[in-house]
Amino acid sequence: MAAINDLISQIENPELRKRIQAEVDRMNKQKRFGLVFEEHLPECAPLYDIPIKRGALVALKTGKVSEVYRVLKIKGDEAECKKKDADEVATFKVNELVTVAEFGDAIYPYLKPMDSVCNAPDSDLWHTLIEADNYHALQLLEYLYAGKVDCIYIDPPYNTGARDWKYNNDYVDGADTYRHSKWLSFMQKRLKIAKKLLNPKDSVLIITIDEKEYLHLGCLLEEMFPEANIQMVTDIINAKGVARLNQFSRVEEYVFFVGFGKSAPALTSDSMLDFEITGNYKQNVGDVIPWSRMLRRGSNSHREHSENCFYPIFVNEEKEIIDSVGFPPGKGNSRQNIQTPTGCVAIWPMHDNDVEGCWQLSRAKFVQALQNGTAKLGRKNKLGQWSINYLNQGLLNEIADGSIVITGKDERGAVILERKADKLFSAKSVWNRKSHDASLYGSVLLTSIVGKKFSYPKSVYTEYDAIKFFTKNKPNALIIDFFAGSGTTLHAVNLLNAEDGGNRRCIMVTNNEVSADEAKALLDSGYHPGDEEWEKLGIARYVTWPRTVCSIEGHDVKGNPLKGNYLGSDKPMADGFKANSAFFKLGFLDKTSVALGRQFKEMLPTLWMKAGAIGKCPTISEDIPDMLILPENKFAVLIDEMSYMTFEKHIAEHPEIETIYIVTDSEPGYREMIASFEDKNTYQLYRDYLDNFRINTGR
């Protein structure tokens, strides 16, 4: 809008200028169908490990990352820069600048090892934490795992207007006509890539949100994922309530479940989730299973609403059985015209005051139900009127899934039912569970581990329950959280694996921003983003990674054993988890150096992740070998084509190797070399990597 208004202001004719302005204002007030918001480009991210050079896009470390300059020339320790899309030229110290990448720029990411924790040396399962702006991390993850992810769980910023909102790059014009545009634009870009990560045949996207944005998020999800099954659940996370000025206190937040393909929440049992979360109003074992009345009540319960469901049921009162079933008299015809068999009475669907109603089932379905034993003659009431009963669809579903079993039939042919002790049933859409208390099992739990304050961490049991619904039957699921925050998701996945012996793998992504107060204090002390003193106080290094290490090893950051047991089990927190995790920082490579094979060492962790992150991430010395044969990681790399024959022999000796990388510039040569590896996943380096990040730009 700012650009249009600027053009209008250049119109010299005042009358024409006024008329055009009025029409533009009128158009702005018009409402369109669907979710309407202003999309914003560019979104910028600082790249601290990319050197400042002529022609690069840069920003001031202490300024807004969206205020971008182009470096014209560098002389000594100073850089002459021209502000993008403006004539302003300024000179800055090189060490005051940082290279930036705009939305859509080609980037060539790599993973720089930072740390690791190994509490299960015999296991080849390794989780991953990536310190990065999540948009660029998602671009890397798309290269690694497109269409392979089983579950994405994210807890994005809630757009409350708080100053501590992370990922705030100030890239939106303050003239937005819709206050939600910035947040929606931000989310849309990331969800587009997330969609490419998820397995379209069977996967789920789980997003938590509060009342500020749940309506807009719901509309965005419907527009972006029309093929998905979307449902929102209400979760009570603070029964005491959070006070809101002149409003009701908030006790809940909302969880969107976006299911793809055959994805569906697992049925639950009393042993899996308790009464609070399931809202289980079904009968207990041993209770009488109620049959429903055939007479329809409520809306659409009169004869004119369903003529096919208005028919007589003939009862032999002496034998107390249903003798036969009559046909509907037809629209406009009196029921009196229907002849009743000898020795029977006609039971019609009648309401009080002789008002003609209708049955729940059509004649054909009722006759079939009689034959199946799922419909029967009920009792005669005090007024001498017979009731007709049947089993509704809910009970039929329970019979189908085995929750209720048919043990036989009575003397009149009606089925005899018994509810199984290990019944399974669907959870309800309102969760009210003490273990979901974000204060006690989020903030308090986190503080007991890392001893540091973090705003609004999730209860580990909230994420545990949500993820378990969709990965209960997927012990090898790949789970991603690209708004990792304090690291609750990995904690929950480890707890789930410990419970059922699963090997679910979790990848977390979080930036390393510091709080507003910490940023001010650091700037006052002369530190800038990228400095070690600054970086060590960021989220990833100050909270997420320490929590990961401590929860796996079973102690707090001071080395003291964690106290207490995990809820619902006798597992002491001090026992930790039999799990491993690697910590990386996302960096960026020079594409020319990659193409020339000069950065193989930097690329090795990326190749490890693409091969499944199996076993500990390998490392190499400065000398690059002719080949890497890594059976413990289930991948191999041919670096020197001249060593192909030896390489092929090694592969034959290690059938456990599943992924093969071939470094070659020759497409025909690559095809010829992989001919012997038809049962392997093969990739041509470095073309596969470079092509991916050149093509997947301009999103």
Maximum C-alpha span of the chain = 113
Confidence at residue 696, expressed as pLDDT on a 0 to 100 scale:
52
Spatial CA neighbour of 203 closest among 477, 530, 9, 435: 477
Q: What's the burial of 570, exposed, middle or buried (CB within 10 Å: 0-12/13-18/19+)?
A: exposed
Q: What is the DSSP string of 650-678?
A: HHHH-TT--EEEEE-S-HHHHHHHGGG-T
Confidence at residue 493, expressed as pLDDT on a 0 to 100 scale:
98
Cα angle value 478/479/481 (rounded, 5°): 150
User: Cα-flanking dihedrals φ and ψ of residue 582, to 5°?
Assistant: -115, 145
Q: What are the residue ranges spanned by the domains of the chain?
A: 1-30, 44-102, 109-163+185-279+428-584, 292-319+330-419, 618-695
Confidence at residue 375, expressed as pLDDT on a 0 to 100 scale:
96
Tokens of 590: 């020079």
CATH topology of domain 44-102: SH3 type barrels. (2.30.30)
Q: Which helix (H) or strand (E) holds 130?
A: strand 127-131
CATH number of 109-163+185-279+428-584: 3.40.50.150
Consecutive sets of 10 residues in the chain, 699 residues long: mean pLDDT of each?
A: 74 88 76 54 71 91 85 95 89 92 77 96 96 90 95 86 44 49 84 96 96 90 95 93 85 96 81 43 54 89 94 94 95 94 95 91 96 93 87 89 87 88 74 91 94 84 96 96 95 96 96 83 85 88 96 96 90 96 92 84 95 95 90 96 95 96 93 93 90 61
Confidence at residue 270, expressed as pLDDT on a 0 to 100 scale:
45
* pLDDT tens digits, one per residue of 249-263: 889 999 999 999 999
Confidence at residue 159, expressed as pLDDT on a 0 to 100 scale:
65
* pLDDT tens digits, one per residue of 208-258: 998 888 998 999 999 999 999 999 999 999 988 888 788 898 899 999 999
**Domain 44-102 identical in fold to domain 109-163+185-279+428-584:** no
Residue 289, classed as helix, strand or coil, is coil
Q: Show Cβ contacts of residue 282 under 8 Å, excluding neighbours closer than 6 positions.
A: 419, 423, 425
Q: Show Cβ contacts of residue 339 under 8 Å, excluding neighbours closer than 6 positions.
A: none
* pLDDT above 90 as % of the chain: 60
Tokens of 528: 């800038």
* pLDDT tens digits, one per residue of 658-667: 999 999 989 9
13-30 burial, b at 16+ Cβ within 10 Å, e below that, comes to eeeeeeeeeeeeeeeeee
Confidence at residue 1, expressed as pLDDT on a 0 to 100 scale:
59
Measured between alpha carbons, how far is 687 from 609 in angstroms, rounded to an integer?
18
Q: Are 100 and 57 in contact (CB under 8 A)?
A: yes
User: Cα-flanking dihedrals φ and ψ of residue 89, to 5°?
Assistant: -120, 135
